Amino acid sequence: MSEGGELFAAVFAHGGTEISATAWLQAILDAEAALARALERAGLAADGAGAAVTAAAKASNFDLAELGRQAARTGNPVPALVRALHGMLPGPAAAAVHQGATSQDIIDTAMMLLAKTALEVAGQSLSEAAAEAARLAAEHRDTVMPGRTLLQQAVPVTFGLVAAGWLTGLDESRRRLAAVRRDRLAVQFGGAAGTLAPLGPAGPRVAALLAGELGLAEPVLPWHTDRLRITELAAALAGVCAAAGKIARDVTLLAQPEVGEVREGGSGGGSSTMPHKRNPVAAVAILGCTKQAPGLLATLTAAAEQEHQRAAGGWHAEWQPLAALLRLTCSAASWCAELLAGLVVDRAAMRANLDAAGGLPMAERVAALLAPKLGRPAAHDLVAKAAADGQSLADVLRGAGLTAGEIGAALDPAGYLGAAGEFVDRALAAHASAGEP
Query: By C-alpha distance, which of 344, 340, 357 is closest to 145?
Result: 357
Among candidate residues 205, 310, 392, 398, the one labeled active-site is 310
CB 318 within 8 A of CB 300: yes
Contact 191, 102 (CB under 8 A): yes
Contacts of 158 (CB under 8 A, 6+ apart): 140, 141, 142, 143, 144, 145, 417, 420, 421, 424
Phi first, then psi: what are they for 147, rounded to 5°?
-85, 145
Q: Contact 176/239 with Cβ under 8 angstroms?
A: yes
Distance (Å, whole) CA 281 – CA 273: 16
Of 182, 271, 347, 426, which one is the catalytic site residue? 271
- Cα separations (Å) of 431 from 6, 32, 45, 220, 291? 37, 41, 49, 34, 27
User: 271 an active-site residue?
Assistant: yes
**146 with 355: CB under 8 angstroms?**
no
Angle at the Cα of 176 (from 233 to 120), degrees rounded to 5? Answer: 70
Whether 310 is catalytic is: yes
Q: How far is Cα 78 from Cα 108, in angstroms, rounded to an integer?
A: 11
Measured between alpha carbons, how far is 104 from 313 in angstroms, rounded to an integer? 12
Question: What's at 187, amino acid-wise?
Answer: V
**Residues with Cβ within 8 Å of residue 277, at least 6 apart in sequence:** 269, 270, 271
Q: How far is CA 167 from CA 174, 240, 281, 348, in A?
A: 11, 12, 21, 23
- Between CA 322 and CA 270, with CA 7 as vertex, the angle to 5 degrees is 115
The residues that are catalytic are 271, 310
